[in-house]
Amino acid sequence: MADLTNSDDDDLKALGYSAQFERSMSLWENFALGFTYLSPVVGVYSVFGIGMAAAGPPMFWWYLIAAVGQLIVCLTFCEVVSQFPISGGLYPWCRRLVGKKWAWMAGWIYGWALFTSIAAVSAGAAPFVGPLLGFKVTPVSSGLIAIALVVFSTLTNLAGTRMLARVAMFGFVCEILGAIVVGAFLLLFHRHQPIGVLFQTYGLVRQGAYAPAFMGAAIVGLFTCYGFEACGDVAEETPNPGVAIPKAMKSTIYVGMSASVFVCLALILSLPDVMAVITGRSANPIEDALNAAFGPIGAKAVVLVVLVSFLSCALSMQAAASRLLYAYARDEMVIASGFLSKVSKTHHVPMNALVVSGLIAAAILVLGMFFADAVGTIVSFAVVGIYAGFQMVVIGSTFARARGWQPHGRYRLGQWGWPVNVAGIVWGISAIAIMLRPADGALPWYAAYGMALTFGAVIVTGLVYMALGRPFDRSDAPAGDAWLRRAPVQS
Would you list the DSSP string of 189-217?
A: HS--S-GGGGG--TT--BTTBSHHHHHHT
Asked whether residue 491 is domain-assigned, the answer is: no
Predicted local distance difference test score (pLDDT) of residue 379? 62
Tell me, what amino acid is at 428? G
Asked whether residue 485 is domain-assigned, the answer is: no
As a whole number, mean pLDDT of residues 426-433 equals 95
Instruction: Please enumerate in sequence order all residues whose Cβ is within 8 A of that of 262, keeping only pairs 6 or more positions apart, or say none.
Output: 179, 180, 183
Q: Is 146 exposed, middle or buried (0-12, 13-18, 19+ CB in 10 A)?
A: buried
Domain count for the chain: 1
- Which band of pLDDT confidence, cut at 50, 70 and 90, is reported for residue 341? very high
Give CA–CA dist 108/106, Å, rounded: 5
Predicted local distance difference test score (pLDDT) of residue 372? 59
Kindly report each contact of residues 190-194 with a partner whose C-beta sits within 8 Å and lies 24 or more positions away, as own/partner. 190/270, 190/289, 190/292, 190/293, 191/269, 191/270, 192/269, 192/270, 192/271, 192/272, 193/57, 193/268, 193/269, 193/270, 193/271, 193/274, 194/269
Contact 431, 387 (CB under 8 A): yes
For 156-170, give one letter per residue: b (16+ CB within 10 A) or e. Answer: bbbebbebbbebbbe
Predicted local distance difference test score (pLDDT) of residue 489? 41
Contact 314, 321 (CB under 8 A): no
Contact 269, 114 (CB under 8 A): no
From residue 458, how far is each of 67, 108, 390 by CA, in Å?
Answer: 27, 8, 16
Instruction: Please enumerate in sequence order all residues whose Cβ is within 8 A of that of 267, keeping only pairs 6 or more positions apart, or say none.
Output: 44, 48, 186, 285, 286, 289
- Which band of pLDDT confidence, cut at 50, 70 and 90, is reported for residue 325? very high
Instruction: Please enumerate in sequence order all residues whose Cβ is within 8 A of that of 350, keeping only pairs 6 or more positions apart, or say none.
Output: 322, 323, 325, 326, 340, 341, 342, 343, 344
For 400-420, give one letter per residue: b (16+ CB within 10 A) or e. Answer: bbeeebebebbbbbeeebeeb
What pLDDT digit, counting tens, does each position of 93-144 carry?
999 999 999 999 999 999 999 999 999 888 888 877 877 777 777 777 888 8
What pLDDT digit, counting tens, does each position of 158-203 carry?
999 999 999 999 999 999 998 999 999 999 999 999 999 999 998 8
Contact 389, 115 (CB under 8 A): no
Find the CATH number of the domain harbouring 82: 1.20.1740.10
Tell me, what amino acid is at 133? L
For residue 332, how many other CB atoms are within 10 A of its CB? Answer: 17
Asked whether residue 117 is domain-assigned, the answer is: yes
Alpha-carbon dihedral sign for residues 47, 50, 56, 62? negative
Residue 233: which domain range? 2-14+23-480
Asked whether residue 390 is domain-assigned, the answer is: yes
Strongest mean pLDDT among 9-13, 151-155, 368-372: 151-155
- Which band of pLDDT confidence, cut at 50, 70 and 90, is reported for residue 446? low
Asked whether residue 487 is domain-assigned, the answer is: no
* Helices of type H across 202-333: 211-216, 219-224, 230-233, 241-269, 274-279, 285-330
Asked whether residue 140 is domain-assigned, the answer is: yes
Asked whether residue 96 is domain-assigned, the answer is: yes
What pLDDT digit, counting tens, does each position of 137-150 carry?
777 788 888 899 99
Assess whether pLDDT exceeds 70 at residue 22: yes
Asked whether residue 489 is domain-assigned, the answer is: no
Instruction: Output the average pLDDT for the chain.
Output: 89
Alpha-carbon dihedral sign for residues 289, 291, 292, 293? positive
Give CA–CA dist 11/27, Å, rounded: 18
Give CA–CA dist 359/426, Å, rounded: 36
Give CA–CA dist 407/405, Å, rounded: 6
Q: Which helix (H) or strand (E) segment is 418 a member of?
A: helix 417-435
Instruction: Please enumerate in sequence order all residues whose Cβ is within 8 A of that of 194, keeping only pairs 6 or more positions apart, or say none.
Output: 269
Give the percent of the chain with pLDDT over 90: 60
